[in-house]
Amino acid sequence: MDKLIIEGARKLQGEIRISGAKNAALPLIAATLLAPGWHVIHNVPDLRDTRTILALLETLGAEWKREGSTLLVKTDSLNNFEASYELVKTMRASILVLGPLLARMGKARVSLPGGCAIGARPIDFHLLGLKKMGASLDLEDGYVTASVKKKLSGGTIYFDVPSVTGTENILMAAVLAKGETVIKNAAREPEITNLVDMLISMGARIAGKDTDRLTINGVKSLKPAEITTIPDRIETGTYLIAVGTAGGEANLTHCNPSHLPSLIEKLRAAGLTVKDSGNSIYVSRPAKVQSIDIKTQPYPGFPTDLQAQLMALMSLATGLSVITEAIFENRFMHVAELKRMGAEIKINGNSAIVKGIAQLKGAQVMATDLRASASLVVAGLAAHGVTEISRIYHLERGYEDMAGKLKALGARVRKEKE
Ligand code: UD1
């Protein structure tokens, strides 16, 4: 296992290129299961999670090759319909193969993801939705086995709260179903729009793009897609926050600032200069950062995937900040680690009260999940002394070449074997 060593308290300066979005690439890759022929997906980040979903597709009989950041995937000879525990346990998003496998093969067996570091994270919406579309479901031995006699059929599906992968799974199931499917209270994250664009380019009939009501009229068959993965808004946000925390200025290119409305507004309120120029974004920290309050919400609200990183920024701000996590229970795993670096944080239910201090101090800390790890990197860049972050495989799940990008911004970081 590798650890990341950061010599902190150095301002960041420079320009980096933002990669394609992990959370968009995963459903785009899963959607290749819907049609034979070579699919072409551009701007795919090379991450542990994208490798995991490709390994999963290989076990189903798919072929793939990478040409730079372009991925070619062919799913003509599918000969298996099971996603094993070994793969699902390393990445919950493996559940994304359930909808497309059921639509294309009429059956799917997927290991249940179980609990994870950031709460129970059930998949009941995915299952209820598929049931409404006529699937028979069996839960046994930690697996869900889904099958359908002839074809899935359309239905009306209402999500109690908008679920990102739930919406994606039902979308992928519905495009080949008989009749009309309506998803009410659908999630509206930009990654879903990216998937809708891919499915439409394959011949799917979907109305309501970018809204919380998606109407899908099933078609008999689909053709292979050519699509570009949208830029990673969470990676973009993480580097914006890193510059805000460590100080300095940076230009992030190949990104889409319009996908970060709430973060940009909050960073400006905290005193950062953020200039959006279409597909790049400039950030600098001219003065002391002011405390701000945030509450995580579904898109376009403040993303839960940036909550931990923003907490690192607030731990060095002037004043008190209340950070409320309203999407996942138990998503404060980073708090104990930030406190090891000197942060003053109290947890009260699903809120964290952060009292800004003048200086964080480097420490040995442990990464517990992907975004918690990112918050420790942000804190480590600003902290005085050396921060050693162990278990950085979490970071490698979602950040392409993070050490390289930080070095390009002038940070002193290196990877070492633990
Ligand atoms: C996706 C993202 C993840 C992000 C999250 C919220 C991917 C691969 N992952 O995760 O990075 O943190 O959205 O923006 O895109 N829920 C249920 N039952 C379900 C499904 C969800 O109760 O069947 C609840 C969850 O517990 C949570 C809320 O719905 O409280 C939203 O979760 P959801 O959007 O489904 O998260 P993921 O799709 O797993």
List pLDDT tens digits, range 251-283: 999 999 999 999 999 999 999 999 999 999 999
| Residue 406 shares a structural domain with residue 294 | yes
Nearest CA to ligand 1 atom 29: 163
| Residue 242 shares a structural domain with residue 346 | yes
| Residue 311 shares a structural domain with residue 377 | yes
Domain boundary among 165, 200, 228: 228
* Lowest mean per-residue pLDDT among 14-28, 106-120, 307-321: 106-120
| Residue 297 shares a structural domain with residue 327 | yes
Identify the pLDDT of residue 330.
84
Identify the pLDDT of residue 312.
98
| Residue 164 shares a structural domain with residue 298 | no
Q: How far is the CA of 167 from the centre of ligand 1 (A)?
A: 10
Q: Residue 120, Cα to own-chain centre: how many angstroms?
A: 17
To the nearest 10 degrees (0 to 180), the angle between helices 164-174 and 190-201 is 10
Q: Looking at ligand 1, which atom is closest to the CA of residue 298?
A: 14
| Residue 144 shares a structural domain with residue 260 | no
Task: Dump the DSSP string for 274-319.
Answer: EEE-SSEEEEE--SPPBP--EEB-STTSB-GGGHHHHHHHHTTSBS
| Residue 181 shares a structural domain with residue 302 | no
> How many structural domains is the chain composed of?
2
CA distance 175 to 34: 9
Q: How far is the CA of 30 from the centre of ligand 1 (A)?
A: 17
User: What are 183's two structure tokens?
Assistant: 């998803």
| Residue 11 shares a structural domain with residue 67 | no
Average pLDDT value for the chain: 96
pLDDT higher than 80, residue 117: no
Pocket perturbation via mutation, ligand 1, pick of 164, 310, 328 by most ligand atoms within 8 A of CB: 164
Beta strands at 248-253 and 63-67: parallel, antiparallel or unpaired:
unpaired
Which residues partner with 184 through β-bridges? 158, 213
Between 244 and 288, name the one with better pLDDT.
244
Identify the pLDDT of residue 22.
98
Identify the pLDDT of residue 15.
98
Identify the pLDDT of residue 1.
85
pLDDT higher than 90, residue 24: yes
List pLDDT tens digits, range 351-383: 999 999 999 999 999 988 999 999 999 999 999
Nearest CA to ligand 1 atom 35: 163
Identify the pLDDT of residue 286.
84
Identify the pLDDT of residue 126.
95
Domain boundary among 228, 251, 280: 228
| Residue 189 shares a structural domain with residue 160 | yes
Enumerate the active-site residues.
Answer: 116
pLDDT higher than 60, residue 115: no
Identify the pLDDT of residue 134.
97
Q: Looking at ligand 1, which atom is closest to the CA of residue 123?
A: 23
Identify the CATH number of the domain in which residue 287 sits: 3.65.10.10
| Residue 211 shares a structural domain with residue 290 | no
| Residue 6 shares a structural domain with residue 147 | no
Give the range of the structural domain holding residue 257, as residue numbers without chain letter. Answer: 2-19+231-417
Identify the pLDDT of residue 119.
64
Let me know how long the chain is: 418
Q: How far is the CA of 164 from the centre of ligand 1 (A)?
A: 5
Identify the pLDDT of residue 161.
95
Identify the pLDDT of residue 329.
87
Identify the pLDDT of residue 245.
98
Nearest CA to ligand 1 atom 9: 23
Across residues 142-149, what is the average pLDDT?
Answer: 94
Which residues contact ligand 1 via a Cβ below 6 A? 23, 26, 93, 121-126, 161, 163-166, 187, 191, 304-305, 327-328
| Residue 89 shares a structural domain with residue 222 | yes
List pLDDT tens digits, range 150-159: 999 999 999 9
Q: How far is the CA of 138 from the centre of ligand 1 (A)?
A: 22
CA distance 84 to 97: 11
**358 class by beta-carbon count within 10 Å (0-12 exposed, 13-18 middle, 19+ buried):** exposed
Note if the bond before 300 is cis, omega within 30 degrees. yes
**Residue 49 DSSP SS3:** helix
Q: Residue 140, Cα to own-chain centre: how many angstroms?
A: 29
Across residues 311-339, what is the average pLDDT?
Answer: 96
pLDDT higher than 80, residue 81: yes
Q: Looking at ligand 1, which atom is closest to the CA of residue 96?
A: 8
pTM: predicted TM-score of the whole model, two decimal places? 0.98
pLDDT band at 120 (very low <50, low <70, confident <90, very high): low
Domain boundary among 228, 262, 291: 228
pLDDT higher than 70, residue 196: yes
CA distance 170 to 214: 10
Across residues 18-31, what is the average pLDDT?
Answer: 98
Identify the pLDDT of residue 374.
97
* Lowest mean per-residue pLDDT among 242-246, 285-289, 303-307: 285-289
List pLDDT tens digits, range 385-408: 999 999 999 999 999 999 999 999
Q: How far is the CA of 300 from the centre of ligand 1 (A)?
A: 15
